[in-house]
């Protein structure tokens, strides 16, 4: 009985801290057409505990969440508790990205294409990004942790390189066509919103 209770408690804790739900389907169609917009930043270098943040560029994007993970157990997870794989263009279309198997492991992401006639490897690479989210405030953190897989989100913030006074460092990508260990964007998030298609009024 004690073992079952302990398992239930552990399962409840995992669900509370690590579970990420799935959004309702919106059906086929491109819901986020544009690639991320990146431009010169005026933000100065700053510190968080013994981590030094070096801003490189301001970053804005509206994209589909293709996968997501939550991590707290290492330095990267402590700094950026949520990682998103986002897609735009064809990779914001359910009928397309359902043919791509995306997974996150050890703060990196990879993909396998089930139907190469639907989308190519190069198109996936240039229409997706792995974004490590560092919340700039408690309010941003709360909204960030409400994100579900399949949501359409807008993110605004600054891409940063991070160094620790001990010598450890974590570098952001600033490109759309790279792969591997340093291909992820490290985003100091100043604003995040979940967008419901059709909910915005255009004048």
Instruction: Give pTM, 2 decimals.
Output: 0.88
pLDDT of 3 reads 52
Q: Which residue, among 98, 90, 94, 86, has the nearest Cα to 26 in the 3D structure? A: 94
Cα 113 to Cα 139: distance, rounded to the nearest angstrom: 37
pLDDT of 178 reads 76
pLDDT of 192 reads 97
Positions of the chain with pLDDT under 50: 5-17, 201-203
pLDDT of 153 reads 97
pLDDT of 15 reads 40
Cα 57 to Cα 38: distance, rounded to the nearest angstrom: 6
Instruction: List alpha helices for the chain, DSSP H.
Output: 2-18, 75-79, 94-97, 121-126, 138-144
Domain ranges of the chain: 21-195
Phi/psi of residue 200, nearest 5 degrees: -90, 140
Angle (nearest 5°) at CA 87 between 125 and 55 = 85
pLDDT tens per residue across span 32-84? 999 999 999 999 999 998 999 999 999 999 999 999 999 877 889 899 999 99
pLDDT of 19 reads 64
pLDDT of 18 reads 53
């Amino acid at each position: 009985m004690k073992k079952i209770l302990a398992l239930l408690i552990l399962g409840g804790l995992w669900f509370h801290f690590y579970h990420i739900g799935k959004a309702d389907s919106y059906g086929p169609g491109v819901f986020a057409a544009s690639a991320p917009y990146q431009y010169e930043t005026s933000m100065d270098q700053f510190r968080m505990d013994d981590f030094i943040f070096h801003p490189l560029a301001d970053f804005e994007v509206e994209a589909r969440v293709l996968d997501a993970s939550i991590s707290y157990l290492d330095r990267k997870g402590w700094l950026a508790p949520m990682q998103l794989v986002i897609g735009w263009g064809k990779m914001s279309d359910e009928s397309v990205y359902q043919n791509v198997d995306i997974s996150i492991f050890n703060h990196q992401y990879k993909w396998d294409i089930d139907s190469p006639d639907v989308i190519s490897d190069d198109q996936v690479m240039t229409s997706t990004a792995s974004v490590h989210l560092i919340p700039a405030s408690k309010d941003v953190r709360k909204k960030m942790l409400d994100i579900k897989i399949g949501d359409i989100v807008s993110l605004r913030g600054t891409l940063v390189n991070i160094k620790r006074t001990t010598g450890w460092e974590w570098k952001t990508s600033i490109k759309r066509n790279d792969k591997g260990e340093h291909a992820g964007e490290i985003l100091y998030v100043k604003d995040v919103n979940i967008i419901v298609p059709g909910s915005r009024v255009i004048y």
